Structure 1
Amino acid sequence: MNGTREKLTLPDGGSRLLLHSCCAPCSGELMEAFVESGIDYTIFFYNPNIHPLKEYELRKQENIRFAQKHGVAFIDADYDTDNWFARAKGMENEPERGIRCTMCFDMRFERTALYAHEHGFPVMTSSLGISRWKNMAQINDCGHRAAAPYGGLSYWDYNWRKGGGSSRMIEISKRENFYQQEYCGCVYSLRDSNRHRRDQGRDKIRFGEKFYGVDDTPGSAQE
């Protein structure tokens, strides 16, 4: 694998970690790093932004499969799309990395922080920041904001891309033959991705057809 993994230690003397996972490709590197470092962690899957349901289920099941392989607890939270669309109202035409994405991160992290607080997790983090398509500062701001109301809970803003983390993410995805999503997740990113593909003369995104181990063409691993 590219680079050497750093031995990880939870911040602030934490003993347990709640990992908000957006998908298996982005989470694989974090999960293996936690296992190697002996960190006790649980996966929290709450991503009501992912559309349509078929895509949501594909991403979730890949995540469950990898969690089971490592014997890691997996919390499957509600797919409350109505609440997500309500919060996104008026932001339908905002660009990627804009205020709609901030809302989306806030919503997902707020639920993660609540679960962490209610179940005794002193530290939370997310796999979202490992993707090169995301604004890490934007994600970290949302994470710290979500954890702030709960005394004793901190958001771990470790840079998961450093030390070859992003490269290992792709290597793990190919090794595990993960499903390769081709857009961030929400209906608006799907719309914009398909517009871009149309302008390039490419077909629309087809759900459930592209996998890392089958097609090694550089992909997005976006969510």
Structure 2
Amino acid sequence: MNLGDDSVLEYEQIQGMFEKGQKINYDLVLQKLVQKWQDEARRPKILLHSCCAPCSTYTLEYLTQFADVTVYYDNPNIHPRMEYERRKLVQEQFITDFNAQTGNQVTFVSATYEPSKWLEVVRDLKDAPEGGARCQLCYNYRLDRVAQKAQEWQFDYFGSALTISPHKNAQIINRLGLDVQHMYDVSYLPSDFKKRGGYRRSVQMCAEYDVYRQCYCGCLFAARQQGVDLKRINREATAFVKQHQNDNFDQITYQAD
């Protein structure tokens, strides 16, 4: 499997690395890309979209061996607002604890919470089943936003921790990311972080770091379809935020050049 000399990988190029009709192994593509970085003695900068701390656990453990990573928390799909704030705080705490235990310097930046803009994109698919067309629009919306910021801040790659979830279709996420990169001057990072025990390791790390694991993706429509008690979620999230609202995470805040 030859990645070539260009840092920008195209879908057709990746598809050609595998037998006709064979499912693309994006984890293997990432491994080959990492080997290329090592051969070139380079440590790229990655802006990694993360929806929550659990998805970032093993993802950061793996990537920080080879790259400098900044977590970009941009999740206007999360409802209610206090649950969004709780997951943000948990993400910041995990990065702080991860850095302290590993000696890494992962940084963090949070986008403005704008659920109305997200709703404009997906409202016509509010009744679509989980994992279907609405989710694809949601993936694409957030990948586009992280790519835009990665270009603005001059990162080498943008990517997403979403592929660690067994409930998310890595084939779709990667295809969307490879398409989005054409809109910006930044490369997409192919991945399937759940592979090679990645998801299992993420569960272990959540226990090790005492990380809150949510019971739904965050989307209002998915929560309703799954019968999630959003009133209870809001009460618990509100109590958590009140308890931690003065926590200081300035030491992990990303400073754009």
Please give the TM-score of this superposition, normalised by the length of structure 2: 0.70
Contact kept? 2:59, 2:193, Cα under 8 Å? yes
In structure 1, distance between residues paired with 2:44 and 2:107 = 16
2: distance between equivalents of 1:47 and 1:10?
31
Letter in 2 for 1:52: P
In structure 2, relative to structure 1, the CA distance for the partners of 1:77 and 1:113 (3 Å cut) is: same
**Counterpart residue identity of residue 46, structure 1:** D
Matches within 5 A, 1:46-57: 46-57=74-85
The answer to whether structure 1 residue 172 and structure 2 residue 205 are counterparts is yes
The CA distance in 2 between the partners of 1:97 and 1:75, in whole Å, is: 27
Q: Which residue of 1 aligns with 2:63?
A: 34
- Distance between the aligned counterparts of 1:42 and 1:10, measured in 2? 21
Question: Which residues in structure 2 correspond to 1:151-190 (within 5 Å)?
Answer: 151=185, 153-190=186-223
The residue type equivalent to 2:131 in the other structure is: R
SS in 2 for 1:61: helix
The structure with more helix, counted as a fraction of residues: 2
Identical pairs, percent: 35
Please give the per-residue CA displacement for 1:15-49, whole angstroms capped at 9, x wherever unaligned. Answer: 211110110001100111223x1411111110000
SS in 1 for 2:130: coil
- Which residue of the other structure, out of 170, 190, 196, is the alignment partner of 1:136? 170
- Structure-2 separation of matches of 1:105 and 1:140: 10
Question: Which structure's CA Rg is the greater one?
Answer: 2
Match of 2:140 in 1: 106
Output the CA distance in 1 between the equivalents of 2:172 and 2:53. Answer: 21
- The runs of 4+ residues in structure 1 deviating greater than 6 Å are 10-14
CA–CA separation in structure 2 for the residues paired with 1:167 and 1:116: 29
- 2:125 aligned counterpart, secondary structure: coil
Amino acid at match of 2:112: D
- For the 8 Å contact 1:10–1:123, the answer to whether it is kept is no
1:17 to 2:17 alignment: no
SS at match of 1:116: helix
Per the normalisation by structure 1, the TM-score is 0.81
SS in 1 for 2:46: strand
Q: Is the 8 A contact 1:11 1:156 kept in 2?
A: no
Take 1:137 and 1:161, find their aligned partners in 2: how far apart are those partners? 12
For residues 11 and 105 of structure 1, what CA distance do their matches in structure 2 show?
27
Quote how far apart the aligned CAs of 1:119 are.
0.7
Shift in alpha-carbon separation, 1:10–1:40, aligned structure 2, 3 A = farther
Residues 74, 100 of structure 1: alpha-carbon distance in 2 compared, 3 angstrom cutoff: same
Alignment coverage as a number of residue pairs = 194
Q: Report what 1:97 is aligned to.
A: 131
Cα shift at 1:145: 2.0
Indicate if the aligned counterparts of 2:43 and 2:66 stay in contact, CA closer than 8 A: no
SS at match of 1:17: strand
